[in-house]
Amino acid sequence: MTVVSESIRIDVPVETAFEYLDDPHNHAEVTPSVSDVQNVERLDNGGKRLDCRYKMAGIGLETVLEQTIHEPNHRMVFDMRSGVDGEIDLQFAEANGGTEVTYTATYEIPGRVLNAVVEPFAIKYNERELRTALENLKQRLELEDETEA
């Protein structure tokens, strides 16, 4: 299993950050590799199940995401099933009047040989992807917060 994690502080309340990411369509706005979110259905735990299209290293993939943990204003965890299986864990914490968002992706690339060749590239790619997604989230939420003020 490979784990990549990034955090960022955003100058908006925890509720604002959580509410924004609680809408799966907004992930496509801030995550560069996500191109489409479809078939969103609400689950009994407050989370969602959805189909998602994304690209990794230029290769188009489809995945099913199921939110296994939905703790309002604290945490959301998605189980990911596709050619690359894993988990996406988003955590939210109050930080000096704003929000610290931590995005952790745990995944497994199938095949031992393929994994040995691809893993170093995948780690760098996903670190960049997480960092860019969080920077986009920060920009989107802080800009919206400024225009509402």
Residue-range domain boundaries for the chain: 2-148
Q: Which is it for the CA torsion 34, 47, 50, 38, positive or negative?
A: negative
Render pLDDT for 13-62 as a digit per residue (tens, 0 to 9).
999 999 999 999 998 889 888 888 999 999 999 999 999 988 766 677 88
The pLDDT assigned to 1 comes to 75
Q: Which of 10, 77, 83, 9 is nearest to 43 (CA)?
A: 77
Residue with the two structure tokens 């078939």:
39
Alpha helical stretches, state H, 14-106: 14-21, 24-30
For 111, the 3-state DSSP assignment is coil
Residue type (1 letter), 95: A
**pTM for the full predicted model:** 0.79
In CATH terms, is domain 2-148 a member of 3.90.1150.10?
no
